[in-house]
A = this chain, B = another copy of it.
Amino acid sequence: MCTAITYKTKNFYFGRTLDLEYSYSEEVVIMPKKFSFPLRHSKTRARKYAIIGTAFVPDTIPLFYDAANEAGLCMAGLNFPENAKYNKVNENRTNVAQFELIPFILGNCADTEEAVKLIRKINITDTAYSRKLPLTDLHWIIADKNECVTVECVADGVKIYDNTAGVLTNNPPFNMQTFNLNNYINLSPGQPKNTFSSKLELKNYTKGLGAAGLPGDLSSQARFVRAVFTKLNSVSGKSEEQSVNQFFHILGSVSQPRGSNRLDGDKYEITVYTSCCNASDGVYYYTTYGNHRINAVDIRKVNLQSDELYRYPHINKESFNKQN
C-alpha cells in the first residue's frame, strides 16, 4: 500500500512510497498558479500557490498523489480501504471532490493550520473523477516544517489528528495506529542489557538485538511501526545531499520488493516510486522501482506564473554508472 514520512534537518522534507501492483504513467508535475483546474461542484477560484508533486494526468488535469506548494506546505493521499467515507454533495457548503483535495488545499493554504481550518469548512464529496477512474478510499497527511496532521473522513465524520511521529501508512484508522506503538515501548535502537533474568547469562550475540520484536512484514501496521522507529531514531547530516540520502534510507526500510507481497492472480504489490520533496526549496526527488538513482525536478526552474503544466515523466530504468 503506501508509507509517507516527514523529515527535518536544515530544510523540511516530505515524501512517500507508492505501493501498488500496477502503475499508471506517473509524472512529476509542476502546476503553476494560473493553470486552470476547474472544480466540479464549486466556482473555481484563483490559486495562491504553485504546486510540485507526482501526479497521474489522465486528460488535462493532474491527479496528485503527493505534492508540496511554494509556501512549504505538503500533502499526500494514502490508501484507506473500506474506512474512508466521503459525503454526498451538499448545496449549502463548499463541495470539494476527493480527487480535487490536494490541489485545493495546496493551492490555497500556506501552512498546516490554514489547511486544517479550510478542511473544517468544506464538504469532501464522493464524486468520482470518471467512469474509468472511480473513487479511491484515501486518508491524508498534511505537513509543514512545524506541524503535521492526519485527516480521515470516516463514518463518524472528518477526523483530524495531530501526527507527532510524522508518519502515515494505511489501515486501521490513525488513532489505532498510534495506540499500537505503545506495544513496542521496550524496543530500542541501542544494544540491550539483560532484563530477562539476572539468574541467567544472556549475551548480545549480534548487534541490533535491542529492536527484537520490530515487525518485518509489509502490512500497514508493520510498516507504520517500522517507519516510525526508523525515522524517529534516524541520524544524518543536515546538508541537502545528506538529508535526501537519509530520507531514502528511511523509506527503504518499508520498501516492497517484488514477490514478497503476492496478490490474487499472481500480481505483486511493489514500491512503484519513492519521493522526497525538499519543501523549503521546492526540489522534488524520486526513485522508481526500476531505477535506484535519485532524480530531481526543481520548481524554481520554471515560470510559476504560467498557465500550463510542466510535466516530467518518471524514469523507470536503471542508469548504471560505469566506472571502467
Q: Name A's B-contacting residues (CB within 8 A).
A: 1, 28, 81-82, 164-165, 170-172, 176, 179-197, 199-223, 225-226, 228-230, 232-236, 241, 244-246, 248-250, 252-253, 255-264, 268-269, 285, 287, 289-298, 301-302, 310, 312, 315, 317-324
Contact = CB atoms under 8 A, between A and B. Distances in A.
Contacts of A180: 180
Contacts of A220: 205-206, 208
A116 to B, nearest CB: 21
A297 B321 CA distance: 9
Given A164-B199, A182-B204, A186-B213, 6 more contacts: A181-B196, A183-B221, A187-B195, A188-B195, A233-B259, A296-B321
Contacts of A259: 189, 230, 233-236
Q: Which 9 residue pairs spanning A and B have beta carbons closest together?
A: A216-B216, A208-B218, A188-B195, A197-B232, A211-B217, A186-B192, A214-B216, A235-B259, A293-B293
Contacts of A295: 320-323
Given A196-B185, A233-B259, A257-B249, A217 B212 contact: yes
22 contacts: A164-B201, A176-B176, A182-B202, A182-B209, A185-B192, A185-B202, A189-B260, A190-B262, A196-B232, A200-B228, A200-B232, A207-B263, A208-B218, A208-B256, A210-B262, A216-B216, A216-B225, A230-B260, A233-B260, A235-B258, A294-B320, A295-B320
